[in-house]
Structure 1
Amino acid sequence: MTYLRDKKKWENTLVVLTGDHGQAFYEHGFASHASAIFNEVMKVPLIVRAPGVEPGAESRLAQHVDIAPSILGLLGLPIHPSFQGVDLLHTAADPKRSAYMVAQTPDAHQYGIVRSGFKLIYDERQQEHLLFDLTSDPEERMNLADREPGLVKDLALRLNAWRKLQIDYYADPAIQAREYPPILRD
C-alpha cells in the first residue's frame, strides 16, 4: 500500500482481502479448518477497498462466488449471466437467497445449505441431517432436524438439486469447455 501511495496510484486501486476457510478450536469436538461446515470453519472475512466505496460493514449472506461479480460491478463491467454469484455492492440483500457449502476431506463428507436463517448439513458418513436456526443458535448447538421434518425435506431437496447440477457439470469436460458452472435459480 505504501508503494501505491508513493506512486499516487492508491486512490485508483481496488483491494480485495478474504480467506478460504475459518478455524475450528473444538467448538464441535475437533480442531481443523476443512473437516466440517460449521460456522467457525465457513465464516470468513471479505474486505473490499475501492474508489468511491464508503467504509462500512455488512453481515449479509455471501459466498466466494460473489467476489468476481462484485469486482466486475465495481469496474463498471457487465457480469456474465451464468455467474453463480451476485454483485454484493450493487444488489439488494435477498433474504430467500441460498448459500451452498461442501466439506470433502478424508475426515468429512458434508454438504450444506443456508437459507432464510436456517442451515441444513447433510453428513454423508453418518447418514444424518443436522438443522440449525442460525438466528437463535449461531453456535449451532441445537439440532432441530427431528422437530422440523418439513423444513429438513425442503432444504434437502434444494441441496440435492444443487449437488446434482454441480456433479453433472463437473463430470462432463465437453460441457465445461463451453459453459460456466450452472446456477440453481430459487
Structure 2
Amino acid sequence: MWTSGLVFGASQGILGLETNLGTLRIQLLPDCAPRSVDYFIELLGLHNCAGCRFYRAEGRGNLWDAGGDHIENAASGPPYALLQGTLEVDGVAFKEMPVEGCSAVRRGSVAWVGSGPEFLISLANHEEWSDAYTVFGSVVPEDMAVAEEMAALPTSMDVWSDVTVRLLRDPVYFKVKRRSNASAV
C-alpha cells in the first residue's frame, strides 16, 4: 500500500496527509521549494506527526465557482476558500521556512502561511495573493473531494486581526505518510 521511498528526481514525490475523512495526496515541488520539501522528508523520518492538524476551514461560499475561479465582481473574502493547519510536531522545534519560488496560489496549492509551521490548502484560485505565500506542493485533483468535505465540517466564527475566520469545532488530525506516485492506492 504505502511505499518506502519518494521519487524526487522526476518531481514525482507524493506524500499523503492521512485523516479520518480520507487521504490528501500531495505532489511535492522540490524544484520550487527544496527546503520545504526537505522539512517533509524530516517529518517522514519521525514516523509520527503528533500535533499536526487542520483547524481552520473556509469553503468557497458564493465568491468562487466549483472549479475555483473567482466570480466576477465578488469580494475576495471572507470566506477565503482554504483549509489551514499546522505542521508543528509536538516536541520538535520548527525551523522557519525561507521564501522560495512557485508563488501562484491555485486551487489545490499547498503553501506556508508566513514562514510556517502554519500552512494552507487553497480551495480556489487566488491571484490576489500573488507572492504572499511559498507554494511547496499541490493536492492531486482526485483528492480535492476530501478537502471540500473537510471545508464543510461544522465551524465557529472568530476574529483574527480584524478578519473574520471560521475555525473547525473539532480539529482534523493527520499523519504524514509516504507515497511513490499519484496512482498508488
Normalised TM-score (structure 2) = 0.24
Normalized per residue, which structure has more strand? 2
Q: 1 or 2 for the larger relative contact order (CA 8 Å, sep ≥6)?
A: 2
**Structure ID, larger Rg:** 1
Normalized per residue, which structure has more helix? 1
